[in-house]
Each structure stands twice: as structure tokens, then as C-alpha cells.
């Protein structure tokens, strides 16, 4: 077979939700299925790359030919991403929990007569922003933006705030069916402007994004 366009490249991908413990039996998470992130990892492997996929808990099989690191929390995801560097490109498709419970109760929290417990939250590390600004920053860093309103405005703000080269913005309001579903409609937001793709299967979004990565790395990104 022809050598793929990403032969000799190492691509890091994150996928799925993270799961932040409240106590030994409860957690905070979200509806990400990992379908979009796993499809990107599979497409990059099909294009000949060595792929490291750092995944939160999902029901999907590990994609063929991909090194998968299974993690649960945002802090574990950050550590696994840092351990995977250097990479030629990184794609952050995971739906990372922005907050975790400040103090993980060692034992199951019991109902008391005093009403429900108050959960104090603290911010999780921002993996995309941390790696975008690290000394081992991959030459091409791609983030996602999951929004339920003002999709493009919020995505443009994230492009700047997180220091990445490209944001893939998608509408995750429940009516869109994107989280957990098979299809996605994305907008590519970069310094060059906005490029909107039609409604596509997540596999097709992944193939097109991988073609874009190969083109940008070929130009010396
Ligand atoms: O998994 P699926 O069911 O297929 O759904 C796909 C998806 C909707 C989860 C995916 O397409 C998507 O949008 N992923 C990003 C989800 C998200 O958390 O977006 P955000 O706008 O909250 O975060 C912006 C970016 O920062 C993302 O690249 C995210 O991975 C990253 N981030 C966020 C918080 C944090 N603590 N660390 C991060 O790295």
C-alpha cells in the first residue's frame, strides 16, 4: 500500500468524558460518547500516523492500530497527555469536566437529617491551554468548542484564550443530537477565519480533519 499522508507522524488525540469522583460510588460526568474523538484517532491511524488516544470512560472498542491510554479524571488525562509528548499534532476532542469536587469523600456520603450536602467545586486543569503553552507544545494544536449558544463567538474567544491553532466548534444543544450521536456539523475557526462544514458523519468529519492536519504539517506547521 501507499505510505499514508501522516506516515512518520505522532498524533495525540483526547476523547470521551472525564469522570470526577464525589465519593466512592458517585461522580460528575457528561454525555460525551467518545465517538468523535475515537473517529479522529482511527482516521489518523488509517493515514499512517502513530496515534496516542487518551480516553475517558466510553463504551467504544479501542480503535485498531492506536495506542489507547484509559483514564478517568481530568488530572489523569493531563498527566497522560504530557507523558505522550512529543507529538506533531494534538487534537483535544474530549469533554473534560471543568470542575471537580474539592474534597473527594473517602466514604459514601450518607443522608442526614440536616438536608442535602453542599459540594464545593474547584477548577480542573485546562489540558488544551496547558499543552498549548508548554515548552513541548506540538507544532499543530487543535481544540474543540462545545457550545449551546453563540457558537462562533464563543469559539473565537476560546481560540485566543486557549492558545491553539484551530478550534472545531460544534453545537451540543440537545436538539442537535451531537453528543452521543453519529453525526456532527462543525465550524473550523482559526486566525484565517471561519469555515463551516455541512452536516456529516463523525467518521467523515474525522477524515476531513485528518486531511487538514496532513496538509498543515506538510506546509511545515
Ligand atoms: O463524544 P461525542 O459523543 O462523539 O461528542 C463529541 C463532542 C461534542 C464531545 C466533541 O465534538 C466536542 O465538542 N469536544 C469538546 C467538548 C468540550 O468539553 O468542549 P469545551 O468547549 O468545554 O472545551 C474547549 C476545549 O478545551 C476542548 O478542546 C476541550 O477538550 C478542552 N478542555 C476543556 C476543559 C478542560 N479542563 N481541559 C480541556 O482540555
Banded model confidence at residue 3, pLDDT cuts 50, 70, 90: confident
Under 8 Å between Cβ of 37 and 55:
yes
Check whether 160 has a pLDDT greater than 90: yes
Closest CA to ligand 1's atom 5: 179
Hey, is 88 helix, strand or coil?
coil
CA of residue 59 relative to chain centroid, distance: 16
Is there a binding annotation on residue 110? Answer: no
Cis peptide before 86 (omega within 30 of 0): yes
Pocket-testing residue among 128, 173, 180, 197, ligand 1, by greatest number of atoms within 8 A of Cβ: 128
How many Å apart are CA 87 and CA 106, to the nearest integer?
37
Is there a binding annotation on residue 28? Answer: no
Alpha-carbon torsion, ordered 85, 6, 208, 175, to 10 deg: -30
Active site positions, annotated: 30
ipTM metric: 0.99
Query: 107-134: buried (b, 16+ CB within 10 Å) or exposed (e) per residue?
Result: eeeeeeeeeeeebeeeebebbbbebbee
123's grid cell: 477548577
Task: Give the pLDDT confidence score for residue 1 in this predicted structure.
Answer: 60
Check whether 104 has a pLDDT greater than 90: no
Pocket-testing residue among 17, 90, 144, ligand 1, by greatest number of atoms within 8 A of Cβ: 144
How many Å apart are CA 34 and CA 25, to the nearest integer?
22
How many Å apart are CA 35 and CA 17, to the nearest integer?
11
Domains of the chain: 10-110+117-218 (3.40.50.10300)
- Distance, CA 92 to ligand 1 centroid (Å)? 7
Closest atom, ligand 1, to C-alpha of 123: 36
Q: Model confidence over 82-97: pLDDT tens digits?
A: 999 999 999 999 999 9
Task: Give the pLDDT confidence score for residue 221 in this predicted structure.
Answer: 66
Please work out whether the CB of residue 179 comes within 6 Å of at least one atom of ligand 1: yes
Q: Model confidence over 163-181: pLDDT tens digits?
A: 999 999 999 999 999 999 9
Hey, is 162 helix, strand or coil?
helix
Amino acid at each position: 500500500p501507499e505510505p499514508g499522508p501522516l506516515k512518520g507522524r505522532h498524533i495525540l488525540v483526547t476523547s470521551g468524558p472525564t469522570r470526577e469522583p464525589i465519593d466512592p460510588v458517585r461522580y460528575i460526568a457528561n454525555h460525551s460518547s467518545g465517538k468523535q474523538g475515537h473517529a479522529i484517532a482511527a482516521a489518523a491511524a488509517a493515514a499512517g500516523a502513530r496515534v496516542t488516544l487518551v480516553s475517558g470512560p466510553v463504551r467504544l472498542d479501542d480503535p485498531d492500530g492506536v495506542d489507547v491510554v484509559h483514564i478517568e479524571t481530568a488530572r489523569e488525562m493531563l498527566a497522560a497527555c504530557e507523558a505522550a509528548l512529543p507529538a506533531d499534532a494534538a487534537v483535544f476532542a474530549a469533554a473534560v469536566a471543568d470542575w471537580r469536587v474539592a474534597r473527594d469523600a473517602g466514604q459514601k456520603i450518607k443522608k442526614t437529617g440536616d438536608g442535602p450536602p453542599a459540594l464545593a467545586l474547584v477548577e480542573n486543569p485546562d489540558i488544551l491551554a496547558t499543552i498549548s503553552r508548554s515548552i513541548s507544545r506540538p507544532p499543530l494544536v487543535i481544540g474543540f468548542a462545545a457550545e449551546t449558544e453563540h457558537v462562533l463567538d464563543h469559539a473565537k474567544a476560546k481560540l485566543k484564550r486557549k492558545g491553539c491553532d484551530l478550534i472545531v466548534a460544534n453545537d451540543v444543544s440537545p436538539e442537535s443530537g451531537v453528543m452521543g450521536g453519529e453525526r456532527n456539523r462543525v465550524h473550523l475557526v482559526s486566525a484565517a477565519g471561519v469555515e463551516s462544514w455541512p452536516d456529516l458523519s463523525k467518521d467523515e468529519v474525522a477524515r476531513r480533519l485528518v486531511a487538514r492536519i496532513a496538509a498543515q504539517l506538510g506546509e511545515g506547521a
